[in-house]
Chains A and B, each alone.
With several copies, the nearest count.
Chain A
């Protein structure tokens, strides 16, 4: 079923916004105002955007160190995110968390772990909580191919299948974990694809095609929401920039420049933009307008972040325990 024009524009807007935010962070990072490690999402925007478009506001997401895209796609406040990167007390985590630990309770993002594979069981537990409370909420979790090395994935998926939990596992296979290619870490395709087919909704798809991601996610979410159990979607994609920080900080020589070039051409944002322009869904004037709105929003968010107050030493001991 083809998407409505509105839905397509919405999807594109989400992707474009994530892209522009990431680009701005990258271009400003060397100023050292954002004293936080950043893991940029450039090249993977279709995944967060496609999956989150299939989720309700009260559905949960769980994410990882590369979380900006997930946070924004799920509805996270840009000002609060930028303030967090600027280590300000107006940040979503009040400056205690930084780029790797974003939170947005209002949109079901209950906090982000930077331990690879750490969020997978937590998302599974959120699914369990929804099931136990007989809520029809779904818990979706984003993780990388690196996280798929970890035993927590196996243990979690087994448990979710056992209990038929409403959890959607979204593996973002961008080919790399820091400087290690997937082939040096995985024995082949992730075993869940073939191994668990009869008990698990599984799909391996092009993660750079936002409509395909949306479509697959919508089916997976419907499956999970209706009590049919968990889903596992592997999205093949690529991290166009470095692992962390801005490009000039990424170690050189571990990736073939041709590989990067190839994937730059497969850029999900540009490709989708081209497609929507060709289809006439998007016009150049609308695009210009979109870009302007996003740019202004980013300006405002950076301004908000820059001018927000820093947390002071006297709050250091707050929040260790919940009273």
Chain B
């Protein structure tokens, strides 16, 4: 598929990534490789870990993320599944209850809609519903399939749905470093964790230490310091927001870019502290606007950080429409650097 042409290989921006600085130096590898390395290490280190999903043993290996794992760990621990997302999600829940640590690759978030009953009615509630008697350590993974006419059913960024579900942890990494570290954290977590990746991230390259490490779930990071406005950006939009901020610096606007990395639990403190300094908030997300991630972050600040706010919050999202397929419509549909720039300017200058 020519998906790959929608975003060529690039290096990540040189974020001021305090997490990485504390660590040993990394090699520059691709996002998919970082994920693959995390899975490789998790499978090596913990015999309870296994990887399942339609196509995980394909030659393409889930855009590279699962490539080669079945050859190393065998078909018992890395296996293809029938196209039966509803029940197989329950199988993952059951396997977790039976002592295993399943990692279920769901390909695209669109298909997770078939897994909602097991994810929301079962996995997310199990620990609470039994007063703590049992737990469901599992990882669900999906990758937003934007681009190349993927259209309405193959490109949805559905984090706005999942962010609403208590009992579920929701992760959306933006860097290669986090892709690996958060995958390892998710697998180590005793609770259901959903990781939503984005195809636009898959070909970027960033610094990743070789040894296994974890990135804490629930901790965001400031990717760029700035005094004028706080920009909370999700997933691949962190890079877009960063580029927007670099350009705006020339116009004298200094935007602070926050990458929450985890949407649930959300690092509210980090966001509120930043807004306390800047007085302005832009939130940008790869999903729909209404009732989505930007709604929660915006409302949270209007509730807990109102006193610092000097201007209306600004939300920069894809429009509230199914994704159209044609490229001219796609172009009109998807937001990027320029939309974020406009949003920042609006937050700072009022229009």
Are A and B in contact, CB atoms below 8 Å, in the complex? yes
A residues with CB within 8 A of B: 30, 32, 35-37, 60, 62, 87-88, 91-101, 103, 105, 110-111, 113-118, 120-130, 132-133, 139, 146-147, 149-152, 155-156, 158-159, 162, 177-180, 184-186, 244-245, 249, 251-254, 310-313, 315-323
Chain A interface, DSSP helix/strand/loop, else mixed: loop
Besides the known contacts A35-B327, A115-B153, A316-B332, 18 further A-B residue pairs in the complex with CB atoms under 8 A apart: A35-B326, A91-B326, A95-B329, A96-B130, A101-B129, A111-B126, A115-B121, A121-B90, A122-B90, A127-B98, A146-B83, A151-B84, A156-B91, A159-B88, A185-B81, A254-B58, A311-B326, A319-B132
- B136's nearest neighbour on chain A, judged by CB, is A322
Min Cβ gap B292→A in Å is 16
A229–B110 alpha-carbon span in the complex (Å): 33
Tell me whether A93 and B129 are in contact in the complex, defined as CB-CB below 8 angstroms, given that A115-B122, A158-B84, A316-B332 are known contacts: yes
Q: What does the 1/0 interface line of B31-57 toward A look like (CB < 8 Å)?
A: 000000000000000000010001101
Tell whether, in the assembled complex, residue B1 and residue A249 are in contact, meaning their CB atoms are under 8 Å apart: yes
Q: For the complex, is B134 an interface residue (Cβ under 8 Å from A)?
A: yes
Tell me whether A162 and B82 are in contact in the complex, defined as CB-CB below 8 angstroms, given that A32-B5, A319-B131, A323-B190 are known contacts: yes
Q: For the complex, is B170 an interface residue (Cβ under 8 Å from A)?
A: no
Partner of A36, one of B58, B96, B325: B325
Tell whether, in the assembled complex, residue B134 and residue A321 are in contact, meaning their CB atoms are under 8 Å apart: no
Q: For the complex, is B93 an interface residue (Cβ under 8 Å from A)?
A: yes
Partner of B149, one of A87, A113, A152, A310: A87
Tell whether, in the assembled complex, residue A87 and residue B86 are in contact, meaning their CB atoms are under 8 Å apart: no
Partner of A158, one of B1, B82, B92, B151: B82
Most buried by B among A125, A151, A312: A125
Q: Which residues of B contact A254 (CB under 8 A)?
A: 58-59
Tell whether, in the assembled complex, residue A35 and residue B128 are in contact, meaning their CB atoms are under 8 Å apart: no
Tell whether, in the assembled complex, residue A97 and residue B98 are in contact, meaning their CB atoms are under 8 Å apart: no
Partner of B91, one of A93, A103, A124: A124
Q: Which residues of B contact A146 (CB under 8 A)?
A: 83
Q: For the complex, is B8 an interface residue (Cβ under 8 Å from A)?
A: no
A227–B161 alpha-carbon span in the complex (Å): 41
Chain B interface, DSSP helix/strand/loop, else mixed: loop
Q: Which residues of A contact B57 (CB under 8 A)?
A: 179
Tell me whether A156 and B87 are in contact in the complex, defined as CB-CB below 8 angstroms, given that A126-B98, A129-B98 are known contacts: yes
Tell whether, in the assembled complex, residue B131 and residue A97 are in contact, meaning their CB atoms are under 8 Å apart: yes
Min Cβ gap A232→B in Å is 15
Partner of A125, one of B58, B93, B114, B148: B93
Tell me whether A113 and B130 are in contact in the complex, defined as CB-CB below 8 angstroms, given that A128-B94, A177-B54, A316-B329 are known contacts: no
Question: Which interface class (under 10, 10 to 19, 20 to 34, 35 or more) fits B?
Answer: 35 or more
A62–B60 alpha-carbon span in the complex (Å): 30
A111–B150 alpha-carbon span in the complex (Å): 16
Q: Which residues of A contact B167 (CB under 8 A)?
A: 320-321
17 contacts between A and B (CB under 8 A): A94-B133, A96-B131, A98-B151, A101-B153, A115-B111, A115-B117, A115-B121, A121-B87, A125-B98, A146-B83, A150-B85, A158-B82, A177-B54, A311-B326, A319-B127, A319-B128, A321-B167
Tell me whether A180 and B129 are in contact in the complex, defined as CB-CB below 8 angstroms, given that A114-B154, A115-B111, A245-B1 are known contacts: no
Within 8 A of A (CB), among B62-86: 76-77, 80-86
Tell whether, in the assembled complex, residue B55 and residue A178 are in contact, meaning their CB atoms are under 8 Å apart: yes
Within 8 A of A (CB), among B107-165: 110-111, 114, 117-118, 121-122, 126-135, 137, 148-154
A254–B58 alpha-carbon span in the complex (Å): 7
Q: Which residues of A contact B129 (CB under 8 A)?
A: 93, 96-97, 101, 111
Tell me whether A87 and B54 are in contact in the complex, defined as CB-CB below 8 angstroms, given that A32-B2, A251-B59, A319-B131 are known contacts: no
- B151's nearest neighbour on chain A, judged by CB, is A98
Tell whether, in the assembled complex, residue A159 and residue B149 are in contact, meaning their CB atoms are under 8 Å apart: no
Tell whether, in the assembled complex, residue A252 and residue B59 are in contact, meaning their CB atoms are under 8 Å apart: yes
Q: Which residues of B contact A96 (CB under 8 A)?
A: 128-131, 151-152, 324-326, 329
Partner of B86, one of A36, A129, A155, A251: A155
Q: Which residues of B contact A111 (CB under 8 A)?
A: 97, 126, 129-130, 133-134
Q: Which residues of B contact A313 (CB under 8 A)?
A: 328-329, 331-332
Q: For the complex, is B345 an interface residue (Cβ under 8 Å from A)?
A: no
Tell whether, in the assembled complex, residue B149 and residue A99 are in contact, meaning their CB atoms are under 8 Å apart: yes
Min Cβ gap B170→A in Å is 13
Q: Which residues of A contact B2 (CB under 8 A)?
A: 30, 32, 35, 245, 249
Which 10 residue pairs spanning A and B have beta carbons closest together?
A: A125-B94, A129-B98, A121-B90, A94-B131, A98-B325, A87-B326, A155-B87, A36-B149, A95-B326, A313-B332
Tell whether, in the assembled complex, residue B130 and residue A93 are in contact, meaning their CB atoms are under 8 Å apart: yes
Q: Which residues of A contact B87 (CB under 8 A)?
A: 120-121, 124, 151-152, 155-156, 159
Q: Which residues of B contact A100 (CB under 8 A)?
A: 151, 153-154, 325
Tell whether, in the assembled complex, residue B91 and residue A159 are in contact, meaning their CB atoms are under 8 Å apart: yes
- A130's nearest neighbour on chain B, judged by CB, is B98
Q: What does the 1/0 interface line of B312-351 toward A look like (CB < 8 Å)?
A: 0000000111101111110111000000000000000000
Tell me whether A120 and B166 are in contact in the complex, defined as CB-CB below 8 angstroms, given that A95-B324, A149-B82, A321-B127 are known contacts: no
Tell whether, in the assembled complex, residue B325 and residue A125 are in contact, meaning their CB atoms are under 8 Å apart: no
Tell whether, in the assembled complex, residue A98 and residue B97 are in contact, meaning their CB atoms are under 8 Å apart: no
Q: Which residues of B contact A117 (CB under 8 A)?
A: 83
Tell whether, in the assembled complex, residue B83 and residue A150 are in contact, meaning their CB atoms are under 8 Å apart: yes
Min Cβ gap A109→B in Å is 9
Q: For the complex, is B89 an interface residue (Cβ under 8 Å from A)?
A: yes
- B93's nearest neighbour on chain A, judged by CB, is A122
Q: Which residues of B contact A139 (CB under 8 A)?
A: 94, 98
A26–B240 alpha-carbon span in the complex (Å): 34
A113–B151 alpha-carbon span in the complex (Å): 11
